Amino acid sequence: MKLFVGNSTPVLAQAIARYLELPLGQATVRRFADEEIFVEIQENVRGEDVFVIQSTSYPANDHLMELLIMIDALRRASARRITAVLPYFGYARQDRKAGGRTPISAKLVANLITEAGADRVMTLDLHAGQIQGFFDIPTDNLFAVPLMARDIKHHLDLENVMVVSPDVGGVVRARSLAKRLDALLAIVDKRREKPGESEVMNIIGDVKGRHCILIDDIIDSGGTLCNAADALMADGAKSVRAYITHGVLSGGAVPRIVKSNLEELVITDSIQPTTAVKEAGNIRVLTTANLLGEAIARTASEQSVSSLFD
């Protein structure tokens, strides 16, 4: 088994390599003067079981092309099996036609990864589980909920905790966490009555006096999450925290989170944290290295991956 990494998550890849007690494979990923990406695998991979660790996070297109070109280079170097390990699968939110004459970009990216030569895909908390069906190769969708549950149990008294889904679409994920914590569940029902008007947040469930935990797969601008925190506090919540798998945190998201009613935002390292994220007082990063490392080890030895979440 050999591990290779692009430029998107080098710190996470190093942590995974430490867990597996393996060195990272030697490869050069560089750019020509016109920004074309060039990859050179600098060691023998013939007949090897190879894992390429690369999130397609910002800049998404560059990191996606790095992944595709690295897979192609490994395929042409006669690797026995190539598994694309995507801690964060970019374009996942474009998983359906949102209107007329619009693309389903998540399917296109799945096709690109398959055609480049990947034999298997491993990812974490897909925006929609159905995206697994976009791939014509085996796909493992790992879940961060067990990590989050352990972290919550370590940091909070569970007696007064309530898990909250920030929208109706995230109820399944929130219910999974609530079951692990043996906690109650609430839902934020957001509605926009007219175009241009702010969203109205209605809380389904009694959150008064509770320590509320919002859970979601992606935080981007942070607006919806901050509005949900405001609505929960206005409804009598004692405190509000958020556990989000993928911290995209684009634009002015970090200052917005810092000034918000969120006591703490916990994200994973599926996307490499920026300096602003590291310096934010109420943002904490939870590592997924052991989870991904164990899933890689089980895949290499043909053991069950799904049993990790039993």
List the domain boundaries for the chain.
2-142+290-309, 145-287
- For the stretch 31-54, pLDDT in tens is 999 999 999 999 999 999 999 999
Backbone angles phi, psi at 76, to 5 degrees: -70, -15
CATH class for the region spanning 2-142+290-309: alpha beta
Q: Is 94 annotated among the ligand-binding residues?
A: yes
Average pLDDT over residues 21-31: 96
- Verdict on whether the full-model pTM lies above 0.75: yes
Q: Is 224 annotated among the ligand-binding residues?
A: yes
Q: Is 129 annotated among the ligand-binding residues?
A: no
145-287: CATH topology: Rossmann fold (3.40.50)
Decide if 2-142+290-309 and 145-287 have a common fold: yes
Q: Is 216 annotated among the ligand-binding residues?
A: yes
Task: Give the residue numbers annotated as catalytic, written as ranges.
Answer: 190
- pLDDT cut 90: percent of the chain above it: 92
- For the stretch 215-243, pLDDT in tens is 999 999 999 899 999 999 999 999 999 99
Nearest of 229, 234, 287 to residue 263 by alpha carbon: 229
pLDDT at 201: 74
- For the stretch 195-221, pLDDT in tens is 545 576 789 999 999 999 999 999 999
Nearest of 82, 78, 63 to residue 10 by alpha carbon: 63
- For the stretch 51-95, pLDDT in tens is 999 999 999 999 999 999 999 999 999 999 999 999 999 999 999
Q: Is 90 annotated among the ligand-binding residues?
A: no
The residues with which 66 forms a beta bridge, in sequence order, are none
Q: Is 246 annotated among the ligand-binding residues?
A: no
pLDDT at 192: 62
Chain centre distance of CA 251: 18
Looking at the predicted structure, is the pLDDT value of residue 180 above 90?
yes
